[in-house]
Structure 1
Amino acid sequence: MRGDPDSCGIWAPCLTHDGEKFWLVYTDVKRKDGSFKDAHNYIVSSPTIEGPWSDPVYANSSGFDPSLFHDNDGKKWFVNMLIDHRARPRVFAGIVLQEFDPSAGQLVGPRKNIFFGTALDLVEGPHLYKRNGWYYLLTAEGGTGYGHACTLARSRDIWGPYDVHPQQHILSSKDHPHAALQRAGHGDIVETPDGNTYLVHLTGRPTTQERRCVLGRETAIQEAYWEDDWLYVKNGPVPSLFVDLPAARDDGPYWAEKKYTFTDKLHKDFQWLRTPETDRIFALEDSKLTLFGRESIGSWFEQSLVARRQEHFSYDAETVVDFSPEDERQFAGLTADRALGRATRASHHVV
C-alpha cells in the first residue's frame, strides 16, 4: 500500500459467511482522481473470524465496492460497481455481476451489468440478498456527500432485470437538510435470530452551519420491516437519530478518560498507515513510544505516524515528548485536525 494517496487504500470491506467459512472482499484503491481509477479487488477466506486468513485472490480491477453473495444452490457471485472512464453515459456505469469459483480461485463465466442505477447517479456499494424467491440488490447512490442514499431493487432472476423500490431510495437525508443524521447511505441489511430486520449505513452528524461533520463518516443502524416483499426503514426514508435495539447501551467507557502507557504492546486504539513493517517506523521500549524519523506528515510512502480515531465532538489530548531537533526540517509532536479538537502538548519521542 506504499504510495496509496490519502483517502485511497482499502475501501468498503465486505464480510460474509457461507455456512463453512468467512469470506472477506475489499478494494485496494491506488488512484481515485482523474479520468482513470486504479481499483484492485481481492478475496480472502478463513475458517474462523480470528484467522488464519488465506492469501489474497485477485478478482478484477473494473471498479470498487465488491461484495460476495452465497446463493442457496452453492454458487458464489461477485458484484462491484463499474467504472467507465469514457462516461458512456456515466463514469459510475452500473453494477456488474460474475460468478466466483472458489476451487479455481477466480471469476468465471459471463459478466453482466445488471443495474444502471436511478437518475440520482453514482451507483456503488452493491449487496445481493435472497428472500422469498426474490433477489434483492441494495446499492448506494448520490455520492457520499449530502446527496447520499440507499437504493433497493429486486428481481426473480439473479441476472435481472431489477425493478426499483416504490420509494426508490429507502434511506436518505438528501431532501431533509435539517435532519440530525446527514450523508446517509451505503447500507447493508441484517436479520437477527429473533426475526427482526435492521439496516446499517454510513452517515455524518454536522455540528455547524457549514455542515461540517467533525467525526467524519460514522455508522448508524435503523429498524426496518418487510411489506409486500419490499424492505422499508421505520419512520423512513429519513434516518432516525434514536433507535430501539435489543442490545443494551453502555455509555460508561465511552465517556471515561483514557490514558495510554507504551509498554510491550501498542494499544488496539492506535493505528498507522500503509505498511505492516512497524519496526521501520516505531518501537516500544523503556515504557516509551519511539518514532523513527521518516518522511513528512503528508507523505504517501513512509511517515512516522501513530494515531487514534476521534470519538467525540470535543476533547482534550495531552502527552509528554522527548525530542531534540538538530535541523529545522526535523519535526515531532502531537497533531490533530484544527477543527476537531484541542491538542495541548506534544506527543512523541522521536529518534
Structure 2
Amino acid sequence: MTQLIQNPVLTGFSPDASIIRVGDDYYMATSTFEWFPGVQIHHSRDMVHWRLLAYPLTRTSQLDLRGIPSSGGIWAPALSYDQGVFYLIYTVMAGRKGVFKDLRNFLVTATDIQGPWSEPVFLNGSGFDPFLFHDTDGRKWLFNMQWDFRKNHTRFGGIVMQEYDPAEERLTGPIRSIYKGTAIGVTEAPMVYKRNGYYYLLVAEGGTGINHAATLARSRHLEGPYETDPNYPLLTTHPYLDHPLQQSGHSSLVETQQGEWYMAHICARMLPGTRMNPLGRETSIQACRWTEEGWLELAHGSKLPALTVPAPALEPHPFSPMPAKDDFDAAELGLQYQTLRVPAEESWLSLRERPGYLRMRGRESLVSWHRQSLVARRIQHFQCVTETCVEFEPEHFMQMAGIVCYYDEADYYYLRITHDELRGKCIGVVRSQQGQYDEYIAHEISAAGWEQHYLRAVIDDRSLNFYASPDGREWKVIGPTLDMGALSDEYGGKLGFTGGMVGLCAQDLNGTDKHADFDYFLYEETKEKTKEKTKG
C-alpha cells in the first residue's frame, strides 16, 4: 500500500524549509528567529515521518540574540552537503523596521549533522535568504536577494551571486546580479539546482502573505541570463483564499534515491472564518514532475498545494512519538523546548538543583529582549491542552511565575502566580494585546495556603481558557475566554514571522532571582474530552 504524505509535515512555526538528501536520510532546516538555540533540523527516512533531530547553533559565539527584535534573528537557513561536509548558511536579522535591513550572513560547517558545528564565517550583509551552491566543477557560489533601501527603488533588488573560497573562508570575485524576478514581485529565497545541462533557479515571490508564490527560472550558464518558466508560478494559493494551505511559496527541492522529485514549501493554516494563523507558518511537501520541455510542475497538475501526496517508494520509517508529559527527569531540556534569545544556562535554569523539577530563577519581564526566564515549545494543534504544576512562594508583586501563551512581547496571555500586599498570594491572568498591557483583576483567585499550583491552558480553535487547581483534581476557571487569533503573524498589522508558543516562565523584577520549581510540563492534542475535564 502506497504511503501518503499528510500536509503539513512540520506543524507549528516551522517556516522556510531547506531540504536535502544525504544517502538514505532526508534533512530539513527551518527558521527559528529570536528563539535559542538556532535553526531546527528535522530528519526523515521516508519523507512521511519526521522528527526533530538537532540545533546547529548552540553557542553564543555562533548566535548572539540579545537585543534582537521579535521576528528578527535567524531568517531562512539553507542546508547543503558536499564531499562529506554539511554546510549551513543563515541570516541574523538585527533590524527589520523601516527601509533598512541590518543583517549579517554566516556559514557554519560540520561532518555530522548533529554536530559539533564550527564557529561562524561572516559572508556579507547585502541581503537575506542566502544559499550556497556547490557546482560540479568544485567551485562554490553564494546567492542571496539584494536589499535596496533607496527612494524610488524596489526594495527587493533581485538575486545576486558571488563566489565563495573555502580555503580563504571568504567571498571573492565580482558580485553579479542575475535575476530580477517576475511581475509578481518581491523576489527572494534563491535555491539553485543543476539538471540536464541547465541551472535551475527557484525563488519565492509575492511576499509572505496571500500573494506568496514559488517561481522557477533556468539558464545554461550559472551567471545567467535566466529565463522564467512561461507557466509561472510553480506554486501558489493566490487568489484562492479558502484553500487550507494558505501563503504557499518559499520552497526547496530534493531528488530521491529513485530519481523522484519533491518540493518542501512554506504554508499557513487559518483559524476557521479568519485570516489568523496562531500555529504560525508551517512546512508541507509536494510531489513534482519534469515536463518534456524541461520545466517542473506539481505532480497532481495544479499550482495549488495538495493536502495528501503520494510518498516516495521507500520503506516506512516511523519514529517513536514524543511523550505528552515531561517530568523533567532528564539532565538537559528536551529538543521540543527553546528559550527566548539566550541559552538555557545553570545561572537561571536548572534540572540539577532539585532533581525531577525544572527550577527557574525569575529575571526580566515578558517584554525584555535581553534576560528573560522563559522556556517554551511550539503550539502545533488547533485543539490542545498544556499543563504544569509549580511550587512558588512570591513575596512581592514584582515576582511572578506561571504558564504563558506567547507570540512576542506585544501579544501574549499569561496565567501567573504573584503576591499582592492586600490580597496576598493570588493567581490571575494578564495579557498584552498589540502592546497594551492589562490585568483581569476581577477574575483573580486567592492561592493562600496552596503548596502546589496546578495551571492549565486549553486551546480550542480561536478560544483560550486558563484554569488553576491546588490539587490537580478540582479546577477553577481563571479569567475570561481569550482570543488565540491575537497570537498570529499578521494580527493588528504586526507582520511577524513566528507563531504561537506555550511555555513556563518566571520574573523577579526586584533582581533577587526568586525561583519557581516546575514539576512537569504536559502538551497534548485534544478534542471534546478536555472541555469535559475542565468544566467548572
TM-score, normalized by the shorter chain, greater than 0.5: yes
Q: Is 1:160–2:224 an aligned residue pair?
A: yes
Q: Which residue number in structure 2 is paired with residue 23 of structure 1?
A: 87
Partner of 1:308: 377
Q: 2:347 aligns with which of 271, 280, 302?
A: 280
Cα separation, partners in 2 of 1:167 and 1:87, compared to 1, 3 Å: farther
Alignment deviations for residues 63-108 of structure 1 (CA, whole Å, 9 cap, x no partner): 1111100000000000111111115530111111000000010000
Where does 1:64-103 land on structure 2 (aligned, <5 Å)? 64-103=128-167
Of structures 1 and 2, the one with the larger relative CO (CA 8 A, separation 6+) is 2
The 1-side partners of 2:463 and 2:256 are apart by 36
The answer (yes or no) to whether the contact 2:162–2:176 under 8 Å persists in 1 is yes
Q: Distance in 1 between matches of 2:347 and 2:208?
A: 35
Residue 213 and residue 251 in structure 1: after superposition, are their counterparts in 2 closer, same or farther (change >3 A)?
A: farther
* Counterpart check, 1:237 vs 2:284: no
Q: Aligned Cα RMSD in Å?
A: 2.0
Which digits, 9 at most, give the CA deviation of each residue in 1:177-199, with x for residues without a partner? 12111000100000000110001
Question: Could you list the per-position Cα deviations for residues 149-189 of structure 1 after superposition, in whole angstroms to 9, with x for gaps in the alignment?
Answer: 00111111111111111222100001211211100010000
Contact 2:261 2:289 in 1 (8 A): yes
1:187 aligns with 251
1:316–1:343 CA contact under 8 A, matched in 2? no
- Whole-Å Cα distance in 1 between the matches of residues 317 and 169 of structure 2? 42
Q: Is 1:332 aligned to residue 401 of structure 2?
A: yes
- Contact in 2 for aligned 1:290/1:348 (Cα 8 Å): no
Amino acid at match of 2:198: W
Shift of 1:344: 3.4
Q: Flag the structure with larger Rg.
A: 2
Q: Which has the higher strand share?
A: 2
Aligned to 1:323: 392
How many angstroms apart in 1 are the aligned matches of 2:127 and 2:464? Answer: 36
* Structure 1 residue aligned with 2:332: 265
Check 1:343–1:21 CA distance in 2 against 1; reply closer, same or farther (3 A cut).
farther
Are the counterparts in 1 of residues 210 and 239 from structure 2 also a CA contact under 8 Å?
no
Given the alignment of the two structures, is residue 344 of structure 1 paired with residue 408 of structure 2, yes or no? Answer: no
Shift of 1:51: 2.2
Give aligned-pair identity as a percent. 44
Letter in 2 for 1:253: P
TM-score by length of 1: 0.94
- The answer for the alignment partner of 2:269 in structure 1 is 205
Give the deviation of 1:277 after TM superposition: 5.4
**What is the CA–CA distance in structure 1 between the aligned matches of 2:186 and 2:245, rounded to whole Å?**
21
Given the alignment of the two structures, is residue 291 of structure 1 paired with residue 414 of structure 2, yes or no?
Answer: no
Q: Show the counterpart of 2:106.
A: 42
Q: Mean alpha-carbon deviation: is it higher for 259-268 or for 24-33?
A: 259-268
Q: Deviations over 1:229-287 (max 9, x none)?
A: 11111232111111111364869838xx7011112221221110222352233111321
Greater CA deviation, 187-196 or 338-347? 338-347
SS of structure 2 residue aligned to 1:331: strand
Question: Aligned partners of 2:209, 2:183: CA distance in 1, in Å?
Answer: 16
Q: CA deviation at 1:220?
A: 0.1
Q: What SS is found at the alignment partner of 1:320?
A: strand
Q: CA deviation at 1:213?
A: 1.6
How many residues end up aligned between the 2 structures? 349
Q: Distance in 1 between matches of 2:385 and 2:467?
A: 7
SS in 2 for 1:17: strand
